Amino acid sequence: MSQKKLDEPGLKNVSEFPIGTAVNINRLINDDALMSLQILNFNSITATSDMKMQSILPAENQFNWKKSDTILYYAKKHNQRVFGHNLIWHSSTPKWVEEKGNKDSLWLGEFMKDYIHKYVGRYKGKVAGWDVVNEAFESKGGAYRKTFWYNNLGKEYIANAFRYAHEADPDAVLFYNDFNIERDTLKLQAVLNMVKDFKKEGVPIHGIGFQMHIRMDTPDEVIAYSLKKAAETGLQIHLSEVDIIFNSHNDERLGGIENYSSITDEMKLAQEEKYKNLVLMYRRIVPKEQQFGITVWDFTDRDSWIKGFFNMKDWPTIYDEDLKPKPAYNGFLEGLKEKTKKK
Ligand code: G3I
């Protein structure tokens, strides 16, 4: 592997909690420059897509462990924590499951149990934590999303998914993961109500994942408020998919609103500040024992999902298109290094 000389000290080396990134494993292991940066900075790894149901079980009875096994192998080799993303998500449910499940909800309930048992069981003791259910609430407001899973199994599917995952690996840290909960207080409240109900009913939930796909104009005060409310549950808090964009969108595929088509030095510095503040808020507001870690969603502007998904230009991550560290990288680093009062 050609080793590049780097000035960056490595985010993981200055952090008290794990620093993660999401990756596409094939892209990572076939790109030496990307891999050097990944190894330098991160001690936790999440799959952007490779561990979703669509990838693990694309056809009936055809489990495909190739990529997930590769991720585990890579993580072990480089001493990184593996975080499992995700077990149940409407957007990654294979067509064949939908077709069968829509005809037979009893089958679907059994299928979900079996899938989670097999999958979590296979990686028992090796995958540290899981996003058990992803995005079960509407993009805005507090209503349950009327997904295939909800429509066929009712909201109980969420609690059951947590129960099955816990049965398969009692030591895995189990998360509910969603977006917009750092900025939409109604949506956050709905998640917190669910957590409260779960605790009352003894449903094994251990953490809340804030995806944290934020924008430059997402107010820091609102983020701080949301982190504080979530931390009050006593659960682990994971910033699970961090990126920060300049442009806007309507939360839908191809729904980008491109106000900026190029980035200025001033914008880069503003993003540096925003990254720094986010890391500092996490460190100041979330008690140490609840800091599961901060994970960025891809770590280069070249690879970020934003452009393709929203169909707009943007500069969401800490490395630029040429894999050079941006001021945002420095902001992240400074946020980790700055002295904070001990909790
Ligand atoms: O692997 C196939 C490849 O074989 C095929 O040729 C190609 C053609 O379309 O598709 C490839 O799969 C793509 C996959 O990413 C791997 O790159 C899928 O089409 C594409 O839809 C998929 O997108 C991912 C998306 O989730 C849907 O699973 C993004 O990479 C990933 O960043 C995104 O991540 C989500 C989180 O899971 C949940 N929160 C929001 C976040 C961003 O949308």
The one-digit pLDDT tens for each residue of the chain (343 residues) are 444 444 578 999 999 999 999 999 999 999 999 999 999 999 999 999 999 999 999 999 999 999 999 999 999 999 999 999 999 999 999 999 999 999 999 999 999 999 999 999 999 999 999 999 999 999 999 999 999 999 999 999 999 999 999 999 999 999 999 999 999 999 999 999 999 999 999 999 999 999 999 999 999 999 999 999 999 999 999 999 999 999 999 989 999 999 999 999 999 999 999 999 999 999 999 999 999 999 999 999 999 999 999 999 999 999 999 999 999 999 999 999 999 875 5
Q: Are 271 and 327 in contact (CB under 8 A)?
A: yes
**Which is the catalytic residue, given 98, 99, 182, 241?**
241
**Alpha-carbon gap, residue 164 to 95, rounded angstroms:** 23
User: What is the separation of C-alpha 218 from the centre of its chain, rounded to a whole number of angstroms?
Assistant: 18
The candidate with the shortest Cα–Cα distance to 45, out of 16, 13, 79, is 79
Q: Say whether 241 is catalytic.
A: yes
Evaluate the omega torsion of the peptide bond into residue 247 and state whether it is cis, within 30 degrees of 0.
Answer: no
The CA-atom distances, in angstroms, between 129 and each of 75, 108, 170 are 14, 24, 10
Calculate how far, in angstroms, residue 199's C-alpha sits from the geometric centre of ligand 1: 33
**Alpha-carbon gap, residue 244 to 212, rounded angstroms:** 8
What is the atom index within ligand 1 of the atom nearest the CA of 22? 32
CA-proximal residue: ligand 1, atom 28 (nearest): 49
The CA-atom distances, in angstroms, between 154 and each of 109, 136, 147, 160 are 10, 11, 10, 11
The candidate with the shortest Cα–Cα distance to 1, out of 34, 35, 41, 32, is 32
Task: Write down the pLDDT at residue 340.
Answer: 86
Q: Measuring from each residue's beta carbon to the nearest atom of ligand 1, which residues come in under 6 Å?
A: 24, 48-49, 52, 91-92, 134, 179, 211, 241, 305, 309
Ligand 1 pocket mutation pick from 27, 28, 48 by most atoms within 8 angstroms of CB: 48
The domains of the chain, with CATH numbers, are 1-43+212-338 (3.20.20.80), 44-163+195-205 (3.20.20.80)
Task: Write down the pLDDT at residue 203.
Answer: 98
Q: Is 285 helix (H, G, I), strand (E, B) or coil?
A: helix
Task: Write down the pLDDT at residue 342.
Answer: 54
Q: What angle (nearest 5°) sits at the alpha carbon of residue 89, between those of residues 153 and 207?
A: 95
Task: Write down the pLDDT at residue 62.
Answer: 98
Task: Write down the pLDDT at residue 7.
Answer: 59
